[in-house]
Structure 1
């Protein structure tokens, strides 16, 4: 394969490869983008439905506990629990106390979701308290009862009117001024107990174990690539599936900066302002659904109850589907990465075979062209191609008003070489002459073999007589150097060289060829093996 063929092959190979790559890239890009958008759309629909389900679940759970708190307040009123304070008979007090205790124990044991159920007098003293630990509801001894007058949930509940229920913020349970270990996420439901005369006599408080609520929320989770969070009105995490250490940071002095706003600073404003909605970032999709008080409206649809300070349960359920962790987003992208690699290999293969096919066609066409325009033996232009080129150069000389010189070379006594040494020797002699012409005039000069032992050269670009004669003489000297035409046979080849120089408008093809031919025959008549260059005015 020649240098020209290699250049042709690699040029075609690169072009075809780039075309295929652009085509594959466009297809893969469009398909990947479409599939990615479909995946994102599915994520948005999935998360929207999921968070709405979580919201309904939270409202149902909290609503049930609120109703049970109100129900318990009614039961304690009917049992006249407050009579334990006013009855003078100790036995009567104990009987009432035992009845109330049994009621609270039964409720705690059956529900298994209440850490504490208490009845407090208006001074904040625990009158009856039932704890639920290790699956067992037990009545707390009288000596271990505490005063809770200083706790916020008691103060809030004490201000309630009839048929009002206070729902506390979700936080960690505190016993004797210390956060209880292990942590117990707790929501306290408080309702006042009134006597038959409508006088407020005490407060019933239920400590709901919110861990059950969190466990229920986890059941909704579908994908490990999504983080589900529950935050309060200040942005603190009440639940953070992937970062549980950040939960209830507002209860620890060294964690007060751990909020959803600090984790997503670029989205902080949107999180604060969004009641229900979604927004997409470069890294993922965030979905928000609000639970609780919105614009000072009651968070739950209780027709028979009024919730005081319902903004304490103004929560936001947030999901953040991070693209880098979502399998349904990563898989399409990974699949297209694989397909892209296959596309590169396929493009290389197709480009190679197509470039090879085009090279073969190019070589065949070049071979046909060469057969039609070049002499097979010497690789010089044949007569037809040479005359066509001569006509073109004459027209160019006329336009540019430059000179042109046509030189004919005819080998002397060439027939004798064929007769004495054979045609193979004659062919070697012709090749020797052609190579000498290329060495003297260069590859860019128009040269041809007109037939037999006749050759021709066209000199252009203001060629003059001295220039033409100098190069023609150099050619004759080079041709005369002995060359091996057969084994152990070296011959000196002689030639008669004649040329004619014309310029500008004086260049006519027939006249130029005729005068060059006359100059060559004049060289033969003058004794052969010589150079004669003429022009329109004189012979040189």
Structure 2
């Protein structure tokens, strides 16, 4: 049972060790591979999103530049058709044709210096129409008029992007609108008013939306105050600044830390617990620089294009995840592999246990006497040689006791070899029970044994031998055996200061034993008369 328990423990240790080593190697390999894969995927996603916001930026900037060009065109058309008599028929025809071709301008207007509309072309799904003079309005109180009328001849005003309003009410369905305006001077250099284009920004926002569909997350377009102009993930969040009851709905309030960073840098990337942000500002002065001698006056402030990937999405988890998250992912994705490794470890653990048991068995039989379980001749001499070397270093003493069993041949001849084996085991067990823990005994041959007493002189070794003899005599007196237990001995002591060889020392002990044996055998009767009915106590083999 002890051997079974030991083998079971060994098997568990081997299985655990093999599983741990193989799993660790496999885990490290898969972890490195996963980290490399994640790094490549992260770089691809970030590069794609950076390129996407750059494309969005280019689209919006190019669109505004084309709007400015269109404004200059309709202004030139007004100047060419102005006959100074108040007849704008040619201009009106020209603007109607232009509006029908472009189909993106909700209104084209000429407003005089007093804020009165002189010409207004409206565009609807049915086409462009000229507004009757009776329906023209005064726009002197509108911000785009007041901010444009005082500009120089070569300046162009670009308004903020908001929703079109009539009579202080938001027009339904909503119309996102940008107004571009420039002062109009006649051929004599006299300020006559302003020319205004009302650009329906649905056209621009639809292009932004088409590009945003390729994003791994959502695309936001923000105004200078941090409000959504466009939100591909939730349309309802756009234009909240136009409603009194929605002033708190803004990117600035939802992501204050990111917004603060955006205020300090033109473009960049930010990864936080809130998600992944790639952003760039658009409609800056540099981007809207015109090749002509005109300059822009921006009433809209800088806009910002943002690519946002939520941390709840797969890409977001990849980009915001920590090394610990990667470790958990690797473990989760390789559960079957670890099961197979455990199966392999179980198989190898059993093989190693069997192999270790075989090796232990081979080692045991190479070191121990099979019948008695004590050291054999070779091992006994090896250990004695090692003690001899240690004795040379520390100058301690060692006593060697050479033992020979008396009458073993008679027992074998008259009582049988089984009884002879019993005698050998009795002698061996008696010796092992009486010697100290640091002493050892070896079997040199059939009836010859060697006891090594470490650190004892001859008298000390002799005292232990006498206890062994007393043990034998006690057995002879108390157990009804058919033989006498008797052994002869010879003790020789050496110390580190001597120059004697081990063989010489053993031979000297053997000689002493032989002299004692001759003396003992004179009156020794090994085979005793057996009393019928008496039980012979068995000897337990160790």
TM-score, normalisation: structure 1: 0.75
Distance 2:477 2:83 in 1: 141
Distance of aligned partners of 1:330 and 1:45 in 2 relative to their CA distance in 1, 3 Å threshold? closer
User: Which residue number in structure 2 is paired with residue 90 of structure 1?
Assistant: none
Secondary structure, counterpart of 1:303 in structure 2: coil
In structure 1, what is the Cα distance between the partners aligned to 2:271 and 2:476?
Answer: 84
Answer yes or no: is the 8 Å Cα contact 1:104–1:117 preserved in 2.
yes
Give, in whole Å, the separation in 1 of the partners of 2:426 and 2:202.
Answer: 103
Pair 197,431 (structure 1): closer, same or farther in 2 beyond 3 Å:
same
For 1:92, the equivalent position in structure 2 comes to: none
| Higher deviation after alignment, 407-416 or 225-234 | 407-416
Alignment of 1:137-536 (within 5 A): 146-162=137-153, 164-221=155-212, 225-242=216-233, 244=235, 246-251=237-242, 265-267=256-258, 270-278=261-269, 286-294=277-285, 297=286, 299-304=287-292, 306-310=294-298, 312=300, 314-321=302-309, 325=313, 327=315, 330=318, 336-337=330-331, 340-341=334-335, 344-345=338-339, 347-349=341-343, 351-397=345-391, 399-407=393-401, 410-415=404-409, 417-419=411-413, 422-424=416-418, 426-427=420-421, 430-431=424-425, 433-435=427-429, 437-441=431-435, 445-462=439-456, 464=460, 465-474=462-471, 477=474, 494-496=485-487, 498=489, 500=491, 502=493, 504=495, 505=497, 508-516=505-513, 518-519=515-516, 522-525=519-522, 527=524
- Using a 3 Å threshold, how does the CA distance of structure 1 residues 431 and 303 change in structure 2: closer, same or farther? same
Question: 2:406·2:517 contact (CA, 8 Å) conserved in 1?
Answer: no
Taking the aligned partners of 1:35 and 1:215, their CA distance within structure 2 comes to 35
The structure-2 alpha-carbon separation of the partners of 1:82 and 1:172, relative to structure 1 and needing over 3 Å to count, comes to farther
Query: Is 369-378 or 333-342 further displaced after alignment?
Result: 333-342
CA contact (8 A) 2:215 2:307 kept: no
| Per-residue CA distance 1:512-533 (angstroms, 9 max, x = gap) | 444355556655556478xxxx
* 3-state DSSP of counterpart to 2:278: strand
Alignment correspondent of 2:61: 59
Q: Deviations over 1:293-316 (max 9, x none)?
A: 24xx4x335334624313635323
Out of 45, 48, 53, which is 2:47 matched to?
45
Larger CA deviation: 172-181 vs 255-264: 255-264
Tell me how many residue pairs correspond in the alignment. Answer: 509
1:112–1:135 contact (8 Å) kept in structure 2: no
Structure 1 residue 169: deviation in Å? 1.3
Instruction: State the partner residue of 2:533.
Output: none
Q: Distance in 2 between matches of 1:521 and 1:3?
A: 49
- 1:154 is displaced (CA, Å) by 1.5
Question: Match of 1:312, SS?
Answer: coil
Q: How much does 1:168 deviate?
A: 0.5
Which shifted more, 333-342 or 211-220? 333-342
Cα deviation, residue 152, structure 1: 1.4
Q: Equivalent residue for 1:534?
A: none
Cα distance, 1:272–1:187 mapped onto 2, change above 3 Å: same
For the 8 Å contact 1:17–1:347, the answer to whether it is kept is yes
1:159-180 per-residue CA deviation (whole Å, 9 max, x = no partner) reads: 2344543211122333322444
Contact 1:482 1:493 in 2 (8 A): no
Q: Which runs of 5+ in 1 are unaligned?
A: 88-95, 484-489, 530-540
Task: Name the CA distance, whole Å, in 2 between partners of 1:521 and 1:184.
Answer: 131
2-structure distance, mates of 1:327, 1:115 = 41
d(CA) in 2 for partners of 1:284 and 1:267? 10
What TM-score does the superposition give when structure 2 sets the normalisation length?
0.75
Q: For the Cα contact (< 8 Å) 1:235–1:260, is it kept in 2?
A: yes
Deviations 1:236-272 (A, max 9, x none): 4333333555544544566656665655555556533
Contact 2:42–2:318, Cα closer than 8 Å, also in 1 = no
CA distance in 2, matches of 1:9, 1:522: 55
